[in-house]
Amino acid sequence: MTSPFPLLHVPNLPLARIIDFMEPDALVSLSFCSQKSHSVIKTLRKTPHDERLHVGGSYILAPFLSLTNCDCVLSTSNSAYISSSEKEEYVKLGGQKVRVKMHRLVEYLITYWEDKLTGLKAITDYVTDLFNIDVSEVRVCKDSFKMIEHVNSKQKTPLEKVVYVDWNVIPSEDEMNYILRDCPCSSQICIYSEAVPYFRFSNNFRRIDCLDISNSKWVTIDNLLTMDGIDIHLENASLTNSDLNVFLRHCLSGGCPRLKLFCARTGSVDIFQVLSGLLDNAVLVEDRGDYTSPFGYSRTLSFGYDIQRADGVTATVCEQMNGTLVIAVWPETTYNYI
């Protein structure tokens, strides 16, 4: 029979190397074993410069934490879902004993809570402290919306990305205003939900690198003219061809100077109305090829018009079959934001 390896008796230098080679989910599990294991990991682990902590994950009903190169390090679930026949195991977390079990397939710890939002706050605080890392992305739904404020209250670094995903519950006007206007977020905002009835955003848009809205009926031409972004994606928009013409003229004369890719699906784009008064300076192009934006959005530009901005930069303007107007600014640039 193999004897257990006395990991915590290894000298600090080789122990630090061992810890750096271990996967984050394994380190989180190990940190619960004792105060010493927690202290050793917190003290000796070197945080990779490109490591980012994401809160929420893609499955909002079972929130979890993930790191850039690790799918999941810790998750939460409702305590009502755990079988009474399973062996009871507990860890100390958030000042209380919390029931846990290991995921059968992926081998990360699941923590069980009566209130999942409380659990998500607790595991976020635990992992950020253990790994000495700030949260870079929060993905929330209606029930976990307060996670955005919780994270921002705990760290000085603004969030890089905020994603709101909830197709079952419409966000309130206050929540929409908070995401668009008040939430400290440095780079990317995505809103994937049904549109708020009669919602209007009366403020100027702040500088945001990427804006992706699945139901953007509320976005007006006045809103559009205040945007300063790199990627702008508006699904189910109510903008008219005249509005899009005004926005295009705005961009060509120096407005929205950082823009690389603009997509607005209205369902009724007429490229000649969009280019009204601009065709004399436009050049018809076919098979322009695939275009990938700095945030990883891809479009195939099979037919469109090249037109120059005031600074000499070329943009391709095209109408796509699903009623989407695309403005792609050359050259392609990869900033590796995602």
Residue-range domain boundaries for the chain: 1-52+63-133
Name the amino acid, one letter, at 289.
G
* Share above pLDDT 70 across residues of the chain, in percent, rounded to a whole number: 94
What pLDDT is attached to residue 106? 74
What SS3 state is found at 63? coil
Q: What is the pLDDT of residue 69?
A: 63
Query: What is the length of the chain?
Result: 338
Beta-bridge mates of residue 152: none
Mean pLDDT over 57-72 rounds to: 66
| Distance separating alpha carbons of residues 280 and 50, to the nearest angstrom | 47
Is residue 120 within 8 A of residue 94, CB to CB? The reply is: no
Q: Tokens 């699903």 belong to which residue?
A: 322
Q: What pLDDT is attached to residue 336? A: 56
Using 50, 70 and 90 to split pLDDT, how confident is the model at 5?
confident
Confidence (pLDDT) at 223: 96
What is the structure's pLDDT at 337?
52
Q: Please report the pLDDT score of residue 197 as a whole number.
A: 87
- Structure tokens of 125? 């605080």
- Mean pLDDT calculated for residue range 66-92: 79
220 or 1: which leads in pLDDT = 220
For the chain, the average pLDDT equals 90
pLDDT on residue 210: 97
> Rounded to 10 degrees, what is the CA torsion of 193, 59, 54, 28?
160
Question: So what's the pLDDT on residue 222?
Answer: 96
pLDDT band at 51 (very low <50, low <70, confident <90, very high): confident
With cut-offs at 50, 70 and 90, classify the pLDDT of residue 85. low
Per-residue pLDDT at 101 exceeds 60: yes
> Lowest mean pLDDT: which of 5-9, 185-189, 275-279?
5-9
The residue-averaged pLDDT of 153-159 equals 93
Percent of the chain with pLDDT strictly greater than 90: 67
Name the pTM for this structure.
0.90
What is the mean pLDDT of the segment spanning 143-168?
A: 93
Question: Which has more confidence, 161 or 73?
Answer: 161
Per-residue pLDDT band at 78 (split at 50, 70, 90):
confident
Determine phi and psi for 82, rounding to 5 degrees.
-90, 140
Considering only residues 326 and 25, tell me which one the structure prediction assigns the higher pLDDT: 326
Categorize the per-residue pLDDT at 62 as very low, low, confident or very high, splitting at 50, 70 and 90.
low
Other Cβ atoms closer than 10 A to 6: 7
From the centroid of its chain, how far is CA 186? Answer: 11
CA–CA separation, 213 vs 228, rounded Å?
15
